[in-house]
Amino acid sequence: NLAEFKEEVLAAYPKKVAKKRGKAIVYNDPDEIPQIQANVRTIPGIITQRGCTYAGCKGVVLGPTRDIVNITHGPIGCGFYSWLTRRNQTRPDEQAPENFIPYAFSTDMQDSNIVFGGEEKLKQAIREAYELFHPKAIAIFSTCPVGLIGDDVHRVARHMTEELEGKVNIFGFSCEGYRGVSQSAGHHIANNGLYKNLIGNDDSVDGKYKFRINVLGEYNIGGDAFAIETLMDKCGIELVATMSGNSTKKQFETAHTADLSLVMCHRSINYVAEMLETSFGIPWMKANFIGAEATAKTLRKVGKYFGDQELIDRIEKVIAEEMIPVKEAQEKALEKTKGKLAMLFVGGSRAHHYQELFNELGMTTISAGYEFGHRDDYEGRSVIPSIQIDADSRNIEQITVKEDATRFKPRKTEEELKALEKEGLEFNGYEGMMAEMKKGTLVIDDLSHYEMGKLIEMYHPDIFCAGIKEKFCVQKMGIPLKQLHNYDYGGPYAAFEGAINFYKDIEQIACCSIWKEMKAPWE
Write the CA distances from 179 to 39, 80, 365, 391, integer angstroms.
13, 20, 33, 11
Which range of residues in 40-48, 348-356, 449-457, 470-478 is near ligand ICS by CB under 6 A? 348-356
Residue 430 interacts with ligand ICS (CB under 6 A): yes or no: no
Nearer to ligand ICS, 86 or 179 (CB): 86
Q: What residues have CB less than 8 Å from 37, skipping those under 6 apart?
A: 20, 23, 24, 445
Residue 267 interacts with ligand ICS (CB under 6 A): yes or no: yes
CB 217 within 8 A of CB 159: no
Does residue 187 have an active-site annotation? Answer: yes
CA separation for the pair 307, 129 (Å, rounded): 47
Nearer to ligand ICS, 68 or 346 (CB): 346
CA separation for the pair 4, 420 (Å, rounded): 45
Residue 58 interacts with ligand ICS (CB under 6 A): yes or no: no
CA separation for the pair 334, 62 (Å, rounded): 38
Query: Smallest distance from the beta carbon of 487 to ligand ICS, in angstroms?
Result: 9
Nearer to ligand ICS, 139 or 263 (CB): 263
Which range of residues in 215-223, 236-244, 396-404, 452-460 is near ligand ICS by CB under 6 A? 215-223
Residue 72 interacts with ligand ICS (CB under 6 A): yes or no: no
SS (H, E, C) 390-414: CHHHHCCCCCCCCCCCCCCCCCCCH
CA separation for the pair 67, 198 (Å, rounded): 13
CA neighbor of 170 nearest in space, from 55, 265, 68: 68
Q: Strand 442-444 and strand 211-218: pairing?
A: unpaired
Residue 291 interacts with ligand ICS (CB under 6 A): yes or no: no
CA separation for the pair 142, 119 (Å, rounded): 11
Write the CA distances from 121 to 76, 117, 162, 373, integer angstroms.
13, 9, 17, 36
Catalytic residue among 21, 87, 187, 353: 187
Which range of residues in 20-28, 247-255, 345-353, 497-505 is near ligand ICS by CB under 6 A? 345-353
Q: For the chain, what percentages of helix, strand and coil (3-state, to nearest 5) are there? A: 45, 15, 40
Residue 346 interacts with ligand ICS (CB under 6 A): yes or no: yes
* First-residue to last-residue Cα distance in the chain: 24
Nearer to ligand ICS, 82 or 337 (CB): 82
Residue 177 interacts with ligand ICS (CB under 6 A): yes or no: no
Residue 485 interacts with ligand ICS (CB under 6 A): yes or no: yes
Which range of residues in 93-101, 205-213, 214-222, 290-298 is near ligand ICS by CB under 6 A? 214-222
Residue 60 interacts with ligand ICS (CB under 6 A): yes or no: yes
Residue 48 interacts with ligand ICS (CB under 6 A): yes or no: no
CB 11 within 8 A of CB 454: no
Residue 349 interacts with ligand ICS (CB under 6 A): yes or no: yes
Does residue 127 have an active-site annotation? Answer: no
DSSP 424-476: T---S----SGGGS-TT-EEESS-BHHHHHHHHHHH--SEEEE-HHHHHHHHH
Nearer to ligand ICS, 179 or 485 (CB): 485
Amino acid identity, position 289: F
Residue 347 interacts with ligand ICS (CB under 6 A): yes or no: yes
Burial of 316 (0-12, 13-18, 19+ CB in 10 A): middle
CA separation for the pair 247, 264 (Å, rounded): 15
Does residue 520 have an active-site annotation? Answer: no
Does residue 55 have an active-site annotation? Answer: yes
Contact string 86-125 vs ligand ICS (x = CB under 6 A): x---------------------------------------
Q: Considering only residues 221, 263, 285, 318, which one is a binding residue for ligand ICS as defined by CB under 6 A?
A: 221
Q: Considering only residues 5, 24, 40, 56, which one is a binding residue for ligand ICS as defined by CB under 6 A?
A: 56
Nearer to ligand ICS, 101 or 160 (CB): 101
Which range of residues in 104-112, 170-178, 260-268, 404-412 is near ligand ICS by CB under 6 A? 260-268
Write the CA distances from 237 to 92, 211, 303, 310, integer angstroms.
21, 5, 10, 12
Catalytic residue among 24, 38, 55, 125: 55
| Interface residues toward ligand ICS, by CB under 6 A | 56, 60, 86, 183, 217, 219, 221, 265, 267-268, 346-350, 485
Which residues participate in catalysis according to the annotation?
52, 55, 86, 187
